[in-house]
């Protein structure tokens, strides 16, 4: 093993390696944190909203400046403008909804926890109740606690949340809290609990809101409609075993006293049966020229001539 170099030999090390060898300025183990406020990120739908706003401006300018537009073009642009405006309103509602959720998330969470604890205590008291009046009183309080729990959970997300319970600084007894006036939405929540429509209320669907059915656009017909005369003359599809273009023949009555061969001959005579031989074209026979048989030759064509 070679001996270690002395510190005097370290003077010959390159400048770029001096910090590594001397460890005067070692590299930090972690990335330093950024000082100052956190960077605000843009919303996801910001670009789409700006694009919709630009389209609305373009269509509005086109309709206001062009007075000589054809009627069909103007109607089409007005419909497009209404659709863009509806899309922009939906984006604004979603933006408001996200802001309200973020703002009142903590308040709703605490009130939901408080209503849950109150409901558990009342259930425990109900098991220990002895008199009928006490049972009825506890059941009424349980109903109020259940409505409070659904109030904190199913309050419309796109509206400003109104708290059920007073802040910590206010000193009020339990009787004063019971007699406190509930917000107007509390009665709506109670009614919706019986109807089972709390989910629609949570996401902002109020009474009288009817969803428009989706219309399916029918494609225009690419083929020309058939006329009545064409449909009458239209030939039906040939069935298996049936010749195309052959007229339907009514079978003639047959005499079953004859045998099969005699019946077949009779059908051929009457034309009811067409044989394969009859359909064949007759062969054209060319006359054969006999080179030996000539009128000038005096022989009578014998073999032993």
CA distance 255 to 277: 24
Mean pLDDT of 34-46: 56
Cβ proximity of 7 and 21 under 8 Å: no
Please state, as a whole number, how many other Cβ atoms lie within 10 Å of the Cβ of residue 137.
15
- pLDDT for 65: 86
Checking if the pLDDT of 52 tops 60, the result is: yes
CA distance 290 to 292: 5
- pTM as predicted: 0.46
Q: What is the DSSP letter of 201?
A: H
CA 127 vs. chain centroid, Å, equals 50
CA distance 207 to 121: 35
Mean pLDDT of 97-103: 90
Residue 56: pLDDT band (50, 70, 90) is very high
Lowest mean pLDDT among 99-103, 110-114, 201-205: 201-205
Checking if the pLDDT of 101 tops 80, the result is: yes
The helix (run of H) or strand (run of E) holding residue 165 is none
CA distance 99 to 115: 25
Cβ proximity of 205 and 188 under 8 Å: no
């Amino acid at each position: 093993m070679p001996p270690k170099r002395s510190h005097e030999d370290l003077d010959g090390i390159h400048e770029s390696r001096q910090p590594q060898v001397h460890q005067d300025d070692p590299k930090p183990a972690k990335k330093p944190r950024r000082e100052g406020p956190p960077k605000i990120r843009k919303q996801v739908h910001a670009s789409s909203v700006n694009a919709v706003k630009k389209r609305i401006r373009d269509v509005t300018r086109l309709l206001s400046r062009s007075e000589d537009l054809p009627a069909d073009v103007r109607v089409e642009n007005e419909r497009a403008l209404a659709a863009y405006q509806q899309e922009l309103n939906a984006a604004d509602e979603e933006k408001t909804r996200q802001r309200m959720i973020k703002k009142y998330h903590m308040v709703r969470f605490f009130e939901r926890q408080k209503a849950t604890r109150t409901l558990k205590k009342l259930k425990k008291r109900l098991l220990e109740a002895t008199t009928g009046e006490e049972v009825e009183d506890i059941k009424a309080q349980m109903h109020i606690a259940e409505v409070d729990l659904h109030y904190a959970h199913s309050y419309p997300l796109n509206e400003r949340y109104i708290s059920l319970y007073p802040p910590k600084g206010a000193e009020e007894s339990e009787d004063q809290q019971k007699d406190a006036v509930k917000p107007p939405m509390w009665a709506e929540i109670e009614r919706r609990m019986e109807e089972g429509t709390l989910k629609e209320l949570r996401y902002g669907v109020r009474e009288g809101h009817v969803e428009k059915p989706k219309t399916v656009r029918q494609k225009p017909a690419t083929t020309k409609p058939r006329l009545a005369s064409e449909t009458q003359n239209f030939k039906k599809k040939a069935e298996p075993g049936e010749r195309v273009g052959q007229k339907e023949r009514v079978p003639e009555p047959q005499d079953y006293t004859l045998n099969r061969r005699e019946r077949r001959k009779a059908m051929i005579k009457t034309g009811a049966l067409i044989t394969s031989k009859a359909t064949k074209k007759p062969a054209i026979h060319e006359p054969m020229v006999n080179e030996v048989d000539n009128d000038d030759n005096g022989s009578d064509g014998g073999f032993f001539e």
